[in-house]
Homo-oligomer: A and B are copies of this chain.
Amino acid sequence: MRVHLENIVLFKNIDEETINKIENFTTEHRVSKDNIVFYEGDEPKYLYLLVKGVIKLYKTSSNHKEVVLKYFHDNELIGEVANFEGMPYPATAKAYSDVEFLKIDFEKLKEVIFSNPNMAFNIQTSLIKKIKNLENIISTNLVLDSKERVAKYIYNHSEDFFETKNIEIAEVLGVSPETLSRILKFFKDKEIINVKTKFADKEALREFF
């Protein structure tokens, strides 16, 4: 195994013996962009730990519209609810970039969690992080309108905003590319952002959300 568990946040402060044990039922996978990691409805058996890349979790609604629930990034745990609850995965996971992840046999991991307080603590931390994340998604999506969401996005991603394609940003924000284009025009007109000089007036943006 090339990925070393001890470098992963979830396994911080875990003794070597336990790590070795976990390695025995953990497998490493690489999947390239746009391939499916698991489907909605699949029976869970493994806990997924995203090591590198981005995984998109989405549902296909009745009218065949794809609704993105969440993008996962490094060190995030995927599928813990389905595993803990023994219910099928409620959504489909797809590689949004080339990704590297671990599949951990859940039943076996559970035993380790029970017998190792540090491991239990790490799982807890990871769950809390996830809750925070979900709460953030909810408040962003329910409280803010499109313009506010765009302002928040630029504010939080001022580093890479100008290097990211608008259609991708639109997808992440859950707005149509046309709407995003119009909103960006608004900010350009107000000289809050400038695409040529790659300037973003963070103070001014902050006012919007």
Closest to A134 in B: B134
A91 close to chain B: CB less than 8 A: yes
Q: Is A174 among interface residues, defined by CB-CB distance under 8 A?
A: yes
Of B84, B130, B139, the residue contacting A125 (CB under 8 A) is B84
Q: What is the predominant secondary structure among interface residues of chain A facing chain B?
A: helix
CB distance from A20 to the nearest CB of B (A): 21
Q: Which B residues are CB-close (under 8 A) to A115?
A: 117
Q: Copies of this chain, how many?
A: 2
Give the docked Cα–Cα distance between A84 and B85 (Å): 23
How far, in Å, is A89 (CB) from chain B's closest CB?
A: 11
Is A137 positioned at the interface, with any CB of B under 8 Å from its CB?
Answer: yes
Q: Does A138 contact B (CB under 8 A)?
A: yes
B128 and A81 form a contact (CB under 8 A) = yes
Q: Which 6 A-B pairs have the closest CB atoms?
A: A134-B134, A120-B120, A127-B127, A84-B128, A61-B143, A67-B143
